[in-house]
Structure 1
């Protein structure tokens, strides 16, 4: 029986990364795929065909792996009907409005920002998967209220070729006009005049990925303590140094950011007729807010697995955002919803969760894709407290919008003044 997908009627995812050796990787992947099939068959078995259906509620940014969905229906006889809202906020709103008569049996794609609200509001009921796998540290909820599905590490990403220092003779002084900004390290680089006019980020007022940026900014510059510069003031300074706000994450990463292609195949020199500059990028930006998995996503757009890509991940100020599934409280088919939650934690589903965000599976024993093995970046992320973030992110969002409005209607920012310090030798 084919899985049926239905759109929701309610409201209408140095710096050059290099390729690793393929032989051993392909052998591991082949073994992993064989293991995936064996585990899924053992877990699900062969059920009698029926007409039962489980209703899934999610949003357009959450990826449901088609192969795993079809396998679930084939092995259980349970048809899957997917209701897809536009945003995570729309999902929560629909769950609250339909609490008396839930429109779905399972919700999937709830992120760290909404996790505590969904649990505290009683929108889901605790469920322990029958065969839970080993999870990435820090993703599990205390009382099994929701089941971890996947996660992303949101980070600054950049165009490495833009930051290459031109080659010159040892007896030549560098020309200030040809010197690039220093290689990005983290969010505080966005208030460095050297990076003026080189950054685009998704606006938290209209983008979930932008909210992950704001969560990290608040963590670095909290306004609740007396010491240091509060984040609204840091944001104003970022805007004055030319940080551009894009309406969506897709617009920022796929239209305004210049990365993703192969890197230049030659060294850059001061006499190069085609240096990588803002002018040569024709209005696109060399830095944006994305994820540590974006290099692997860009690799999927290449005709074959490339040797290298012109995209890097800043090592600092990443934030880990997890995504969860749960059985909807009061749903009419909770038992079927539980069976779907069981399948979500199995290897076939987990292996297929990679998406345009560069998501990673919640299980820590899943074989990585060839693109991730070659280009995925391992970082040490900040892990936000769902209770603290959940209680405050909407207020942060309002404050962000107010700072942006005040900047737009205030006096023009000063012209940037960049000073190049020459080395002593």
Structure 2
């Protein structure tokens, strides 16, 4: 009798384990969490897969133009958010996103960082500067410009490509640095001279660097990019270069420290999973991957840098207005710039 009781109990347990409800639970599909990013976002797939496995999730990465376009898209779609979380807010746009009601009131706790960001968790930072093509300048025997004013002279006509501050985070950062150093009136007057001197404006950083820059087959030997771009050129050359073929110009009024971060969006369909994803971008493995994935510095303190970053020269200064000043004056700055440059 006892054996039959045990057998019956065992069969009951087995039946429960094999029940349709249990099978359904075991085979439930992963929960989708949507991450809106700018088009330069590039995190190794194994790291995304690790988050998915650990959280029984499916990360849907939605790329939306440049940094400025990304925030504008989030604002336009705030009634029905296109994502649960965002990566690509920076210190020119995060306050705008927060004041527009795009970000959730409560954000997850942040790790200790070298670069705090208003309203979001800092993930990386870099320096927006002017890059130059070393071979082009050597061939032309043209001296490098020593100031922004030099760039507006005939010797440098048609040489510079800049992403638009109306649609690009780096472009807006560069404009903010100009204004911080020169003052608004003088900075816009300088842009008027640059327009007359043939400056090329592109919608975003990708177009400026990969289409217009002479190092990548374009016609412009000067481009607003990042101080880490020369290190990336060596890394991706696969042994062709042992020294960077490009260099940095650290000109007063032309250096901006850009901080990028992530945040949960208001109205997220999966707010808890979105919070975990935002925090995951500060995870040690992710932070260690960021330098050679997106060619910026990891924001979390103590993260080691790869050997390739020996070519990532850091400026000794930056021309940064505060985030409060950028938020208060950004619209006027951009509208003034548009009147001068795209009239």
- What TM bracket, shorter-length normalisation? 0.7 to 0.9
Q: Would the alpha carbon gap of residues 118 and 240 (structure 1) be closer, same or farther in structure 2, given more than 3 Å must change?
A: closer
Alignment-derived partner of residue 360 in structure 1: 297
Contiguous gaps of at least 5 residues in structure 1: 1-47, 167-177, 224-228, 261-281, 407-425
In 2: Cα distance, 1:291 partner to 1:302 partner: 18
Q: Would the alpha carbon gap of residues 146 and 58 (structure 1) be closer, same or farther in structure 2, given more than 3 Å must change?
A: same
In 1: Cα distance, 2:257 partner to 2:215 partner: 22
| Matched ranges for 1:76-225 at <5 A | 76-124=55-103, 125-129=105-109, 132-136=110-114, 138-141=115-118, 145-163=119-137, 180-181=142-143, 183-223=144-184
Tell me how far 1:356 sits from its aligned partner: 7.5
Q: Would the alpha carbon gap of residues 205 and 68 (structure 1) be closer, same or farther in structure 2, given more than 3 Å must change?
A: same
Q: Would the alpha carbon gap of residues 356 and 186 (structure 1) be closer, same or farther in structure 2, given more than 3 Å must change?
A: farther
Tell me how far 1:93 sits from its aligned partner: 4.0
Q: Would the alpha carbon gap of residues 244 and 372 (structure 1) be closer, same or farther in structure 2, given more than 3 Å must change?
A: same
Contact 1:198 1:242 in 2 (8 A): yes
Please state if 1:401 is matched with 2:338: yes
Please state if 1:56 is matched with 2:35: yes
Question: Normalising to structure 2: TM-score of the pair?
Answer: 0.79
1:343 equivalent among 280, 300, 303: 280
**Greater helix content:** 2
Query: Which deviations, in whole Å up to 9, do the C-alpha atoms of 1:75-126 show, x marking residues without a partner?
Result: 2222222233234444434433444443432122112221112222332223
Q: Would the alpha carbon gap of residues 303 and 283 (structure 1) be closer, same or farther in structure 2, given more than 3 Å must change?
A: closer
Tell me how far 1:193 sits from its aligned partner: 4.1
Contact 1:320 1:384 in 2 (8 A): no
Tell me how far 1:73 sits from its aligned partner: 1.2
Please state if 1:243 is matched with 2:222: no
Q: Would the alpha carbon gap of residues 193 and 312 (structure 1) be closer, same or farther in structure 2, given more than 3 Å must change?
A: same
What secondary structure does 1:285 align onto?
coil
Contiguous gaps of at least 5 residues in structure 2: 1-25
* CA RMSD, 1 decimal: 2.9
What secondary structure does 1:74 align onto?
helix
